[in-house]
Structure 1
């Protein structure tokens, strides 16, 4: 090879040898430099690039250490044979994933995870954050309690005690950045590898994914209107069950009292545990809030899981576990040395947000706003679709389930909607085993939390015109 056309930025803070190394490595991995191709000699490259020989030697040495090139005695440097197709496949997958997850192009995004950010008291949150930074500048930057800051745990304990009927102390609460992180902690704590985990069918796939990645076996249990199918659960051999009794995802049904009692009896008889996911239970639009399952627990079988993901902002990644007292000793023995995954600054800010009454006011305000949006999306569907659709009214949460009365395939409708600038989700994705799906007509999940009233009405109207 006569030369490599390398452009060096001599004003950059990146050393010249690193720039040379990066360029050659990129050319090799992208297939522009073929195996067994010779590289220019150090003397020739030094003259061409106007750099000293030590710079070139350092760059070539790094490439040799990584196995990208080799030095042949009295023969120079050559590109080694490597499987660059491996990197091309990874790049292709990453590009596909990026395309799949990019939602900014949708004019009407019925995203299940989006919330109303316009009504979040950002000025209050900013003021409290500044207060945290000014009052506790030094200690707030140090590593805190791996269980989570005590002040926030005390505020959470007060909240769940009065709002959800949860019986606990601050000592039982473990704070983490996300429900999936906390589920991994439960898997480690109880030792669920190779064990059977019962989940609702249909259900929350992100939770199921955590259990599968940990090495658990999944037992999908049919969800009935009043709760899980008790016979299927009894025959599952499960060591733990994941359920959301106050809002059974995705239809939003409530587990009735007898099913709750039966579930607790099952856990006691089988020395099993129940993970109660209480996600968005505070946003119930008719009747009173349903007390938690943990409120009925007398034998310490329920592990309570809560999060502020949907009730504050998704970017404020704060969730929490409430462990039964007898599991605390095992937590301190085996899990306590794990680092806390949530920013101490956000923990302290949320503590002040709750202690000063902002959290309670925000919850009640958002409940009214979401209740109006809930009514808007139902009215819009009924007005546009009439007898061509059925809405499953769960009366809780930030999404609805829509059944479309048509002979067209679900995937076709999904693609048509997205081409029209509308993002929504297929209900089929919530079934662990597709053979268990009893619905013939296409079914979709539409989140309304992040849309305005006008966007909901316009989005539903366009959706109808797109499909019919």
Structure 2
């Protein structure tokens, strides 16, 4: 049998790997039949003008993976793999590739002018130069104590909370933290109520852990506590300070009613404080955790919108009554967030840069909010109505369109616009649209693009 691969000697891939991959493909595609004999190492070396070591390394890898077998004094033979189907149909392969591909949305992320890179670099160098950082060891499972202290102080002063660093758990994203929470509470809770519409990615985590899901429809009057009372849920996931995606705010009487429900039903409230600190009219709405007198609220926060999505640092504040159970199961987990990044963030907060940053982004996003609202009104006229744009980093609108929901989603994705369709009835659509990543000088261009999509 003759082996005749074409080698790329300019490639960074070693020659023995190129030969190994070539023979492997010949076998899995069926071109090399079972029991076919491969050239000896000496023969292959001579014909391919490669060293014997290169041939031997390629053959050894194929033997190790079970594609060929070495019989002493007989040589190398192709194994019978006919019972395995190595072929992937072209259309299926294209579909798989299409599913893997991710879209870089124009309007997602944060404003590129909002983050002080130079300060972050300086603090990063400070952290890695400090011997006490000990960058050669892994960090705390719960999160670095320095950062947990700063987060507790931030929640207490900026969000009206009352917590300590012992209650704070740091992790890479809300979904990761929910997984930890479920490990703490699953013996006593198996049903969760969620807002509809709401944050789907949180709901998926509960589904993955086989929780029963109870959808509570958010109406024009906000979240109906009466519907929650009628359900069998003793656990609720809610964003009361700035509901996602509708942007509504739960009034204080309903917040107290929700806390009363939790107290009387031995229930738990998971409060997702999604971008609630960014508010354009008046002060941010205090957290539910700060109003809680009965240890019923789990508070979730993230620095993705406040700072950078790529930072991947979120946190969870658990009630004191859950601490004993958490301390039992905490060693099941590993810390998912960089120790170095945690300490840089802690210094960023301690040195006052976080407060300065928050003031800066409020100015940026308030201006961007006004510009995009004005652009929408001037461009769409009476074919689009802005329902909510008073806080957060997304705007909620109702617009005229003759397109189906599927076509709208397809056109939006093809145009790299992240469009969250809340509802579609006849020729009307209600949607929320994140605007934080839009270049402030290209807002009209973005508006024109959205008009084309709708």
Aligned to 1:445: 432
Partner Cα distance (1:376, 1:37) in 2: 72
Aligned to 2:23: 24
Bigger Cα displacement from structure 2, 294-303 vs 35-44: 35-44
Q: Does 1:110 align with 2:95?
A: no
Q: Aligned residues, how many?
A: 449
Trace 1:14-413 onto structure 2 (pairs within 5 A).
Answer: 14=14, 17-29=16-28, 31=29, 33=31, 36=34, 38=36, 40-43=38-41, 44-51=43-50, 56=55, 58-69=57-68, 77-78=77-78, 80-81=81-82, 82-85=84-87, 91-99=93-101, 101-103=102-104, 109-111=106-108, 114-136=109-131, 139-191=134-186, 195-336=190-331, 338-413=333-408
Partner Cα distance (2:381, 2:10) in 1: 68
Residue of structure 1 aligned with 2:419, choices 425, 435, 450: 425
3-state SS of paired residue (2:240): coil
Task: Give the conservation status (yes or no) of the 8 Å contact 2:37–2:75.
Answer: no
Q: CA deviation at 1:140?
A: 3.0
Task: Give the conservation status (yes or no) of the 8 Å contact 2:26–2:32.
Answer: no
Cα distance change on mapping 1:142 and 1:50 into 2, 3 Å: same
3-state SS of paired residue (1:224): coil
Cα distance change on mapping 1:88 and 1:258 into 2, 3 Å: farther
Q: What do residues 391-443 of structure 1 show as CA deviations (whole Å, max 9, x unaligned)? A: 22141211112222133323334444555x45131415xxxxxxxx5744223
Q: What do residues 425-467 of structure 1 show as CA deviations (whole Å, max 9, x unaligned)? A: 1415xxxxxxxx5744223332111112221222113432x25
Q: CA deviation at 1:298?
A: 1.7
Task: Give the conservation status (yes or no) of the 8 Å contact 2:40–2:75.
Answer: no
Bigger Cα displacement from structure 2, 134-143 vs 164-173: 134-143
Bigger Cα displacement from structure 2, 344-353 vs 83-92: 83-92
Task: Give the conservation status (yes or no) of the 8 Å contact 1:197–1:238.
Answer: yes
Q: CA deviation at 1:209?
A: 1.5
Aligned to 1:2: 2
Task: Give the conservation status (yes or no) of the 8 Å contact 1:71–1:78.
Answer: no
Aligned to 1:433: none
Partner Cα distance (1:444, 1:42) in 2: 67
Q: What do residues 317-344 of structure 1 show as CA deviations (whole Å, max 9, x unaligned)? A: 1111111111111111111452211111
Bigger Cα displacement from structure 2, 296-305 vs 447-456: 447-456
3-state SS of paired residue (2:354): helix
Partner Cα distance (2:166, 2:85) in 1: 53
Partner Cα distance (1:39, 1:446) in 2: 62
3-state SS of paired residue (1:141): coil
Cα distance change on mapping 1:329 and 1:360 into 2, 3 Å: same
Cα distance change on mapping 1:67 and 1:220 into 2, 3 Å: farther
Cα distance change on mapping 1:459 and 1:47 into 2, 3 Å: same
Q: CA deviation at 1:24?
A: 2.4
Q: CA deviation at 1:144?
A: 2.1
Cα distance change on mapping 1:178 and 1:88 into 2, 3 Å: farther
**TM-score of the superposition, structure 1-length normalised?**
0.87
RMSD: 2.9
Q: CA deviation at 1:183?
A: 1.0
Aligned to 1:432: none
**Structure 2 runs not aligned, ≥5 long:** none
Partner Cα distance (1:172, 1:155) in 2: 12
Q: What do residues 120-149 of structure 1 show as CA deviations (whole Å, max 9, x unaligned)? A: 111111111111122237613322221111
Aligned to 1:456: 443
**Structure 1 runs not aligned, ≥5 long:** 429-436
Partner Cα distance (2:91, 2:411) in 1: 29
Partner Cα distance (2:107, 2:53) in 1: 58
Partner Cα distance (2:171, 2:429) in 1: 37
Q: What do residues 249-276 of structure 1 show as CA deviations (whole Å, max 9, x unaligned)? A: 1010011223222222222233221110
Partner Cα distance (2:337, 2:119) in 1: 20
**TM-score of the superposition, structure 2-length normalised?**
0.89
Bigger Cα displacement from structure 2, 187-196 vs 264-273: 187-196
3-state SS of paired residue (2:126): helix
